[in-house]
A and B are shown apart, each in its own frame.
Chain A
């Protein structure tokens, strides 16, 4: 258990260094919902190549890791209805709130943005409510 916290912290540092690099070298905020959403709704096509390349790196490294280093178990639900429902909610919610865990949670909180602190508190709370309700009261989640 303790080792998992250490790996979590080390992995977190890598994520923070990725955000630091993107900010200080390129002048961009590392928020995945913004980077991806701007490609999807065309609002970010002005710097589309930069967004695409970032997302490609994010996609590629886990694949390489799983292939060359160690298998990665992701344990994503196979309940198709649940996966689609949750995906739509994440897509709508993160764009409506202008950010997700990386944008608000990492980049926003670290600059003491009141909007980001508020958003992070709300989505953590609603996540806790959703897991509690669907797992412990409705028994929908395993």
Chain B
């Protein structure tokens, strides 16, 4: 039960951070990527602010060895850079740039963005649903 309350708290804090930093504003996010136009550096400050607490969190967690509620912490990060990572990140970046929404703000904006936001969320869900079969088809068509 406690871990559900913590998840609710954590998700809420994330939502608050996205509103305070104005990252639910698709135009501001696009402004970060518009280096040929009116470049908006805000997103860089958001990333910096978000990374700082996590720079403390990882070593703290490693020293304790497990989470406060007793769960194991995530294992070491994979170091394998493969074509799926590259292809996925490239496709994700294009979609992110075109509308200015990534998954966090897409969820955070579900109640704010009207029908466009809902449509984006549904399309994103369809894309996510398709990935396991796309992955299999991709591996069959172009074996590594």
Contact = CB atoms under 8 A, between A and B. Distances in A.
Interface of A: 4-30, 32-33, 36-37, 40-41, 43, 49-51, 53-63, 65-66, 72-78, 80, 82-98, 100-102, 104-111, 113-116, 118-120, 122-132, 134-136, 141
Nearest to A84: B123
Interface residues of B, number: 114
9 contacts: A12-B45, A18-B13, A23-B54, A25-B67, A54-B10, A76-B116, A83-B119, A130-B94, A135-B34
Q: Which 7 pairs of residues, A with B, have the shortest CB-CB distance?
A: A91-B127, A12-B49, A11-B21, A87-B123, A93-B92, A97-B88, A96-B88
B137 interface: no
B17 A86 contact: no
B15 A123 contact: no
B24 A74 contact: yes
B77 A116 contact: yes
Contacts of B93: 93, 122-127, 129-130
A118 B20 CA distance: 28
Contacts of A19: 10, 14, 50, 53-54, 57
Nearest to A51: B7
Interface string B105-130: 01111111110110111111111111
Contacts of A54: 7-8, 10-11, 14
Contact of A141 (B3, B10, B98): B98
Nearest to A92: B127
B141 interface: no
Contact of B68 (A25, A33, A59, A119): A25
A49 B28 CA distance: 32
